[in-house]
Chain A
């Protein structure tokens, strides 16, 4: 089963960390990415640019209207994702729990990815 692990965090939280904490954070990310790659579970992932650079397109009176900034007004913002292919949702949650952002006030949302296979009912 494929799962998308959606990383939510406070934009700029890294700025408040000490040099040591920052180095440790990046090393942790490298380590977990390495583990997922070696286990054959890593499918893909991307980090997103700061939400202050986002544009949001909304329908206003049935026409698209563009505004600067992210879609949702909230302290935590969508910061990136990791896609894994693993044996159970429990394993996906375990990976999410070990993601370093969780230690710095972030949240990981685990969502199953839809697939095009189907069994007749």
Chain B
């Protein structure tokens, strides 16, 4: 598939689905029909050319699949012989089919779909899978390949997600105002999960998986465009841009992880950093700082330092303090310990870290031991640092992280 066709299909998917659901209800049947229409387009368009009105084409084909499905359903019920309709070679769109003609701004449907796919009745993995298929326009096979599970497993997560939507009686509407913040938080979390799945995979240089990063940024950009009056979507988009800007520098030529302080900063993506910084600056001026805006602000401080030693660690410490007041998360304290060590010395950082060593949530977490090792190394405690690096290496389930931690331990003799 050419990239042009692919981009067109991805952006058309939620709009076509929204129109169809609005007309017929039955989200799950409509979603299947749109997926089939996308697959038909992906095979036909590169050969026959893109139709003059691609949205109308998709809507017509999806609508036909839907009525075929209903007809064969009722045919089965009537014990009649179902006639398998052959798909015509050329589809003439119904002139009356105009996407976004019978409702407000086309984006509203995309937003409704995001809320529906990230409905709290669904499990996390189902939210992710359904969002990527219904809103992102990816096929089940593509999603399965990106998450390294069999296609049947991913198909099951999608169909179970749809069942949950049906049995929860979830509607294709905007959530009521009192539920909106929690529902929006769920959408943000799903998009951030997708981003991280792709971003961390870049260490293994698995191209199909790193596509998830671009997809997450695309959806976050769309979400930000559709919620211009909210700070957190702007914060999430900024965080993704400011993180992904460092992608080219975060792994060495042999695939080994390169820590932030040792990265070749000339390889960072300036355009992404500029866009991210502008989003954060504007966001913090307009809204109270939420978790994503604060994390984006921290990423911006890192990205704006021309050299690692120019990093404004005091500002990062202040931002982590602010973040810690909003969410009680030991990982925030862990990151603050690093920043405090950089700003005030290793001993001060170790004092911040100390309570986490007896906290059940972090005591056996590889990140705790990796940070502990790093701070001990800074403090000149080589033997203890080596032991902590080895412990972290044994606890991580990531191959590149294990390799990185083992080589840090080995470097200490």
Contacts and interface: CB of A to CB of B under 8 A. Distances in A.
Interface string B131-152: 0000000000000000111101
Given A116-B204, A118-B257, A39 B397 contact: no
Interface in A71-121: 85, 87, 112-121
Given A43-B149, A43-B150, A87-B124, A113 B156 contact: no
Contact of A115 (B125, B371, B398): B398
A43 B157 CA distance: 12
Interface stretch (B25-33, B38-46, B195-203, B339-347): B195-203
B153 A43 contact: yes
A67 interface: no
Given A115-B399, A116-B206, A121 B153 contact: no
Contacts of B204: 116-118
Contact of A44 (B124, B150, B371): B150
Contacts of B200: 117-119
B259 interface: yes
A85 B206 CA distance: 19
B150 A113 contact: no
Contacts of B221: none
B126 interface: yes
A117 B201 contact: yes
A63 interface: no
B404 A121 contact: yes
Nearest to B197: A117
B264 interface: no
B123 interface: yes
B376 to A, nearest CB: 14
A23 B218 CA distance: 52
A115 B367 CA distance: 16
B402 interface: yes
Q: Which of A1, A115, A118 is packed against the most chain B CB atoms within 10 Å?
A: A118
Interface string A38-65: 1111111000000000000000000000
B229 to A, nearest CB: 32
B259 A120 contact: yes
Contacts of B374: 121
Contacts, number: 84
Interface residues of A, number: 22
B305 interface: no
B224 interface: no
Contacts of A41: 153
A40 B154 contact: yes
A31 interface: no
A95 to B, nearest CB: 14
B397 A38 contact: no
Given A113-B397, A115-B397, A116-B201, A121 B160 contact: no
A116 B259 contact: no
A103 to B, nearest CB: 27
B260 interface: yes
A121 B156 contact: no
Interface in B64-89: none
B257 A39 contact: no
A121 B154 contact: no
B143 to A, nearest CB: 11
Contacts of A42: 153
Nearest to B153: A40
Q: Which of B123, B129, B209, B402 is packed against the most chain A CB atoms within 10 Å?
A: B123
A88 to B, nearest CB: 11
B211 to A, nearest CB: 14
13 contacts: A38-B160, A39-B160, A40-B125, A40-B129, A112-B397, A114-B397, A116-B400, A117-B201, A118-B204, A118-B400, A118-B401, A119-B200, A119-B257
Given A43-B153, A115-B148, A119-B398, 4 more contacts: A42-B153, A116-B206, A118-B400, A119-B401
Interface of B: 123-126, 129, 147-150, 152-154, 156-157, 160, 197, 200-201, 203-204, 206, 209, 250, 257-260, 263, 367, 370-371, 374, 397-402, 404-405
Q: Would you list the 8 A-B pairs with minimal beta carbon distance, nearest first?
A: A116-B204, A118-B400, A40-B157, A117-B200, A118-B203, A40-B156, A118-B398, A118-B401
